[in-house]
C-alpha cells in the first residue's frame, strides 16, 4: 500500500481546550481525504494542577499492524518525553494539539519520488507571520506561482 508523507504536528492554543473551529476544520480535512490522522492527543496545562493528556485518535482509518509499526518506530508517536517537552513550552492555561498525520493528498507524488530513488531531505514550515511580512514587502501581492 502506497503511503503519503507522515508528519508530526504540535499546535498550541490559549485556553484549556482546542477551539471548536479547529476541530471542525480538522474533521473537514479528514472528510475530504486530504489527511489521515494516525495518532492525536491534546495536552492541557491548567493554571493549577498537573498537565492533562487526552488521546483523541489512535491509528484511525488505518487499523493494521503495519500502521502500528510505522507510527511507533518511524514517526515516533508522541511518547512521555515528547509530551514533557510540549508541557514545558506551554504557558499555564493553554492547550496543545499533537497530531501524527499522513498527507494523503501527496500519495502519488511520494510514490513517484520513491520509485525514482528520491527521498525527503528536509522540510520547513513557514509561519503565517513570515508569509504576511513577505507579502507586505511585495506590496500586498501574493507570491507568484512557479508557472507565472
> Mind listing the pLDDT tens digit for each residue in 51-91?
998 887 655 444 443 444 444 444 445 567 777 888 889 99
pLDDT of residue 91: 94
pLDDT of residue 132: 87
Q: What residues does each domain of the chain span? A: 6-137
Q: Could you give the residue ranges of the DSSP H alpha helices within the chain?
A: 20-32, 65-69, 80-89, 107-115, 128-137
Q: pTM (2 decimals)?
A: 0.70
pLDDT of residue 71: 45
> Mind listing the pLDDT tens digit for each residue in 108-128?
999 999 999 998 888 888 888
Sign, Cα dihedral of 110, 112, 115, 116: negative
Amino acid at each position: 500500500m502506497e503511503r503519503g508523507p507522515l508528519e508530526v504536528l504540535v499546535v498550541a492554543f490559549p485556553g484549556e481546550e482546542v477551539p471548536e473551529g479547529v476541530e471542525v476544520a480538522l474533521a473537514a480535512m479528514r472528510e475530504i481525504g486530504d489527511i489521515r490522522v494516525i495518532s492525536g492527543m491534546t495536552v492541557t496545562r491548567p493554571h493549577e494542577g498537573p498537565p492533562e493528556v487526552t488521546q483523541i485518535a489512535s491509528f484511525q482509518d488505518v487499523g493494521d499492524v503495519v500502521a502500528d509499526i510505522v507510527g511507533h518506530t518511524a514517526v515516533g508517536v508522541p511518547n512521555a518525553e515528547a509530551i514533557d517537552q510540549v508541557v514545558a513550552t506551554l504557558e499555564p492555561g493553554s492547550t496543545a494539539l499533537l497530531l501524527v498525520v499522513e498527507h494523503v493528498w501527496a500519495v502519488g507524488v511520494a510514490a513517484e519520488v520513491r520509485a525514482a530513488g528520491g527521498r525527503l531531505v528536509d522540510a520547513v514550515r513557514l509561519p503565517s507571520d513570515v508569509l504576511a511580512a513577505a507579502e507586505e514587502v511585495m506590496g500586498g501581492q501574493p507570491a507568484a506561482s512557479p508557472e507565472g
